[in-house]
Structure 1
Amino acid sequence: MQLIECPWCGPREEVEFHYGGQAHVAYPEDPAALDDEQWAHYVFYRDNPKGRFAERWSHAAGCRRWFNAVRDTATYRFESVYHPDQPKPVIP
């Protein structure tokens, strides 16, 4: 069982968390101006790299808060966690 560090609750078992997708995806400034293809791209298309990746996570069985994490998708190892209002870290 892997421990994930919740920024508010501390380390907890991974079964308490839910994955929320790619972090730092900006909402369109004028969503009404998007055509169907542009809207579909915003809703469905996400990066899928092998290696370090910024993601959103929810502590669903704990404080129920959202946070961001940098996780290596090849090893599943969490490298850092941070509050959603903090800027995206530089990922080489």
Structure 2
Amino acid sequence: LVVTVLGVLKAGAAYLILDPGFPAARLAAMATDAAVGAVVAPRGGHLAGLDIPVVHPEDARTAAPLPHGTVAVRPADLACVMFTSGSTGRPKGV
């Protein structure tokens, strides 16, 4: 998990940790609210049918290396999205 989060941040993206134990409707709502562009998950992982591209970390061992570039990251850029528990109704991204 730590390596994945660091890779996402190094790529200039933000991360959202999705619990595969959540109901499918909650996962879909969270992914939609956060405008998720891709999911990093192991093969065979439960993604509840989300229509989002999946990146499998185990494929990194056989993938061709990517050119090393520098991503301009500013202090105000988003790094992480977390959702409230939803105790007031619907979980909210913060």
Q: Same fold (TM over 0.5)?
A: no
Structure with more of its chain in helix, by fraction? 2
Structure with more of its chain in strand, by fraction? 1
Tell me the TM-score normalised to structure 1 length: 0.25
Q: Taking CA–CA contacts closer than 8 Å with sequence separation of 6 or more, which of the two structures ends up with the larger relative contact order?
A: 2
